[in-house]
Structure 1
Amino acid sequence: MDAVTVKRIAGRAWRTAGGGEPLDLELVSGGRVLMTATADRPAPSGLPCAFEFRLDGGTAAAIGRRAAHLRVAGETRPFAKLHLPGGKTVRAGRRVTLVSRTLRAAYLCRLRTEFMVNRPFGDGEGVIETVALRDGVLHVRGRSRVPVTIRSETARVDLAKSDMEDRAFDLRLTGHRLLWVEGAGLPLLAIRLPAPRFSPLATVRTVVDFCRIPFLFGGNLAAFLFRGDAKAGDPIEAFLLRLRPASEAVPEVVPGLFAAAAPPKPAPPADIVLPVFNAADDLRVCLERLARNTPPEHRVIVIDDASTDPAIAPMLEAFADARPGTLLVRNAENGGFIASVNRGLAESRGHVVLLNSDAFVPPGWIDRLMRPILDDALIASVTPMSNEAEIATAPVICCPEPLAEGQAEAMDAIAQRLNPAAARAESPTGVGFCMAMSRRWLDEVPRFDTAFGRGYGEEVDWCRRVGERGARHLLIGDLFVEHRGGGSFGPEKAARIAAASRLINDRYPAYDASVADFVRTDPLIGPRLALGLARAGTEAPLPVYLGHRLGGGAEHWLQDRIARDLEEGGSALVLRDGPEPETVAVELYRAAGQTQAVLPLAELGGYLGAAGRKTLIYSCLVGARAPLDLAEAAALSLGAEDGFRMVFHDYFPLCPSRNLLGHDDRFCDLPGAERCQACYDRLAAIGETWPPGISDWRGRWHALAARAGTIEVFSPSSRTLVARAWPDLAPRIALQSHRLAFLPRAVRPAPRARPVLGVLGSIGFEKGAAVLRDLAAAPGVRMDIVVIGKMDEAYAHRGIRVIGRYRREEISDLAEAYGVGRWLIPSVCPETFSYATHECLATGLPVFAFDFGGQADALRGAPNGHLLPRDIAPTELAARLLAPPPSDRPAERKELTA
């Protein structure tokens, strides 16, 4: 969370005695002292003075909408009432810039234009054909024969390897300026899109929406324009840029998925319609599973659609002989899938199950599949979850994945444990690979429409037709049926799907929108996630990461680990703080895509139990409402064979000030218990979920760490600090090195009239924003400061040039372009590991940093590293930075010991 800064409150004549002596001031809310600050009063007493309170995220959240007051320490009556902004305060000039940029972005969101590109990439292995900009989204169409990554300036899509020789794609990416195509880690093509042309329609649409803002967001507009409250401007920006609320972005599970439920009642006799055409290998497994897992009272109607494979006829005859009551029908000529299904439906008497010959049913399947139809006469169709079943696909919706031996059984074992009431959802259509059909609605519409030719789309049409008569369709998550997919249709499958889609859209114009809405909200996200975890547990011990939402080095490490897990053919699960209290956001990563959900924290154990073997890895929970509750809930699910590792990306388990900056914004170096408690009381308002004392906080984290097999740190200084806080766990502390996937090349700086100091990364207060501001404002400083990255606007200075976001591959180019001759790592806290420091060192330029933390550890081992005293005045800092780098490194540098 960005720090909330309240600066330079002045204008009152102090009436207390004491001449020019400093005053101790207190920030009070709800009758409790939250923070203290010292104000230096000029003499004589009575003149205004300036001071500063920096509120961390915990303090700001604790204040919330309540009033906060200022008072002199020792007095009971406050002298000022503060109206805290909801977020970062934006200066007046910056507000104008933000408004203009937002309006330009809003115009682009309403612009519709198309570019004919026809740009090949690789050695003729693919082509970008057209790019259309519609409502702020790039529609990129083309073809590729190889796996590639296509990205814009704000989004990326990975095209996996296809079995087809030449794969067409139609992608959606945010952005409007640039497109890149990359393959095997190498750039293949870069396209700079033409500047958007003027559009009267887009202009009118933008102006109309802008004029609606005072009526829709009047209070927010006033707070932004007159107080500079950036948070108040967020809803306006979301409206203009047509952004969905975060709560809509991640589906929420239906509670009670793992609640106990009564077993299904035996289903009355049903007819199983099984069309067959070739695909002998799949058919053999299908018949074997049917015979083994289907009670004999259910009749199987097999329609052989003139199969040409000689193995089919004897296989079907053997099945019919072994299962009395089986009806075997043979078509004299191949009429296609729909004709075969219609012939089977004509022979049926009761409820029907339409089953493909490449679908393999598990034990107890038909009772679970038929249960909704028996419970509700309005239910016309029921479809189970599968690995390849469009909107019924699990774990990644609409992303099919083949199954290895035993995985289907493991996934259905979890499906049987799910509560049917929480594991079903109404859907726009059923999916015909394994679909129960009610006799009541078959009597209304007894046949599939032969206008769909030889197959595909016919079940959608049937579902929509009975739906217009009042019928409903369900997908259920308490049954999982394996599906191989497309074995009977061969290479013509893609053409059939395209033709069927055109016909469906002509007949039912709202169908695509209803499917898109189902995919967006995904009411079956709970079963999808549970089944995905069951599958992941069959592949290898599932890594379960506890992560935050703040980005930075911890998130970079986490994404790198996830990529490695996927490269090794496995999965990865990430747990983060949920959007509401007592919730957890869950992200299941697989090669096919992601499954994301929000679920109650109390139900986390049920989902993790579905995964079987797992390894819990604490990465970072800074910013979570109740980090200990989340970590303890995850640890509670660990079994005897599960592992647990704790990784120190910051010092959050040692202190809520994750960077060990005390209430005075200075590195505390972990003092004794009494001083720690005094700082803990002033550091932040402690909510209900936070322990009352630092000993309780550190003790609960210690109990978690004691269960860990290893405690990983990334620098010698981190090892020293963790061992000082938890000396009994020192033997478990392991010093690991980060895997740096990329380092910049050496930089050749061009001569400049004024020295240029480079700063790399996202620079807030902790990363040294105040240091840079004071350095730029120091008298007599003759250097340019360039921040390659972002910087907190509260510390902006005209002597600091901020470049903005960058890619690692651009660091050296940007350093040369701006003439950087030396680097400064201005962090005022000890970093556990600093990617920026290693990246700066790789350029070969002199690198300066203060003498503590992982940044200092990195500089000690580098010939171009130079350490600075912690407490150094801005003018002296400038002198050290401008002095020629020493030719020899000092021999008496202090080494940190474990």
Structure 2
Amino acid sequence: MDIFHRHRQANEHDAAATALERALQIPEYRAEALVWKGIAAMPQKPQLAFLFFANAAKALPDRADIHALVGRSLLAQGQPALATRYLTDAWKLQPNDLALRLTLWEARSQSETPADLRRMVLAHLPDIHAGKELAVVLKLLAAQADAPGTVGVVRYLPEQKEIQGWAIDLHNLQVPAVVQIEANGARINATASVSHPLLTAAGLPANHGGLRVSVPSPTPAVHLHFANGTPLLGSPVYAMPVFVPPASVGAGANNSVDVLIPVYDGLEETLECINSALDARKLNRTAHRLVVIEDKTPVPALAKALKVLAAKGKITLVQNAVNLGFIRTMNRAMALSPNKDVVWLNADTRVHGAWLDRLREVAYSDERIASVTPFTNNGELMSFPRSQVCHDMPSAKAQAELDELARQVASPPVEIETGCGFCLYIKRAALDEVGYLDELHLARGYGEETDWCLRARSKGWRHVGAPNVFVAHQGGISFGAEKVLRVAMNNAILRKRYPDASARYKAFCLRDPIKPARQALQQARLDNLARKPVNQRNASWQKDADPTLHVHDGSMQGDDFSLSYHQSSHSTWVRLTAALCPLPLNLEFELPGDFTRLVACMRHLPLQAIVFHNLARCPLGLCDLPAILDIPYRIQCRDDRLLDQQSDYDWQRFAREAASVQVPWPGLESRYSEALPDATVLADVILMNTAHPSHAPQLLMIGDSLHKSGAARSWLGLARHITHARLPIQLLAHSDSPWLNQLQATGSVQVLPEPEGFSLSERAQAAGCDGVLSLVEAPDSDWLAPRMAAELGVPLFARPTPQTSDTGAIALENLPFTLSLPQ
């Protein structure tokens, strides 16, 4: 790369290009070389620049500047929505990088509605500390006709006992803004008349705009707003000292427990939660009290209902004078009884049976267990039926049934990486040693329980899941700009504090030690269903569910009943999915050992037909299911024909024949190109489309698997030919292969990047893919190219074969280049 830079600085372009191509072949320099290749391609070919930048970003994931370049390449090709999505994901990992933030604001300004953009700006303003970024976002606000003209930010500095911040009028920047301050019943007017370095750095007047308000005595709420009533961001200010936990007084297994329910909004949800805990109280032997902390709710009816419950002695009510947020609220609630264990219980949860006894029993099954998290429909690692998935909350009756089944199954506790705060049992001994929540650096919440759990783990404490308890959790369904920002900022803090935590979490998810407990509970659900009367069994399935079982290779989604098969080098297993209410049934079986159990489970399903898809790799044992279950079957061909069952056909023979006839992707003409002694010439190229392309393709996706050596050698020969003949095209590889390095070394093959959350078609679109190319001579049932072309919405170029017939495909007779394939 040093040679490249010397030639570049000397304007020796050809020599610089040669040095750069050499650098691409050296692993140590490849990522940086890709960046410079992208910079060179950006002005004329932003799609090609995306390829270079995105692959460089994959090699150097911590380089925020490269992520910003990826976003710029997407913006340059008119893809602001994709740019926003990519940059947002990158920003979540590195929220403090200025270049990344500036590029993201540019993308948002083009992709978001004015209202959404305004919400984002106001959410981010308190955390903007760079003048350049502040200038950008204030310009975005000022450009909106209906945006507030006055804006400001304030925060409390407990060391100085002072509120500091800034306030401006976007319509009159030359005049200091007037702010009204209210505290303890008094009201005064103040002027933002002091200088503020951030405003100066943003290019605003240097002699005013800043605010400094002395608060000599602790004050729970200081309100600051403009004359028009618009509050400054951060108001009301909680001008109180930092929380200091009380001294430890010890605790033990015989002490009572405080169940802490923080409440802010949601009248019905909160009362249902409290009532479920009250109903379960008499079923639990553990002495406990329900402590409800009302965090200055904006719902008067909720505040009144809580007072009524407290007056009847059913709950202990704590009312915050101002909204403290989750961390401050829970710290003070956990300090109410310094000798008790505590349970965090979200106000949108429901508990059943002896839930607290079972959680406590797990907590004291080992002295170094710090926290316990139950099964739930929505709770990160302990989510059921799928981990890390937010499922809808079941009905009250279904919740109670799931909890009772979990109790009966009694799966043993499972050690997990971190607990989840929707329902978290915490032992007092752990609180005493680990400390409370961090309200100084994570003051506005999100990630607080993860921080506490990781801190506890660093001190030798463990966290476990309790699969013998099921606590339903409604959970939030939307994420506002404020929450997205908080999650990103706090996650950055956690990554810095616990650098190995992310790798540990990913390794845990790959091992998935909770899976046996999930499977046991699923099997119990099915067994319980089998014991019910027929009318109740029939009512247990989702309404309007299609009673057809689809057997496939895992590539299909959305069926009410499906059996997907998966094969690895050492095992074959299937996943049975069924539309059981209230949560879907998911059971896995290893073949052939679990085949008898699979059949037994399938007999409980209300199946009326079986459709087989992608039979080429289907385990033969599954072909016996129609006969065993006495259910009619059909075979879905690749051309969407359905082959019906024929009584005079042997099933095994029929399956094999069906597998052989589902090849025909119609559309390739039956014509041959001439074969030369040393090469096969792809002179007759067919376009599977309804019209000629408007221009010759320049970026073609490799439409064949590169895992077979024969096919890979053909592609390597083609790639070398493209380079040597200087053909005006590039090839794009979409999957990994042992041949990938050799293909890339030709200089004519690029790897399609895999940004998280991007579909194959979005990735190909960003790269500028304008066709799929296949070199297969005799397509079989695993031919990827037609499906890929259809998914990407681009033409398919392929070699004509004698096994296909002309169905109206258009031949390109006069391509401007010829592809020669050395044998």
Q: TM-score, structure 1 length as denominator?
A: 0.45
* Structure 1 or 2: more helix by fraction: 2
Q: TM-score, structure 2 length as denominator?
A: 0.48
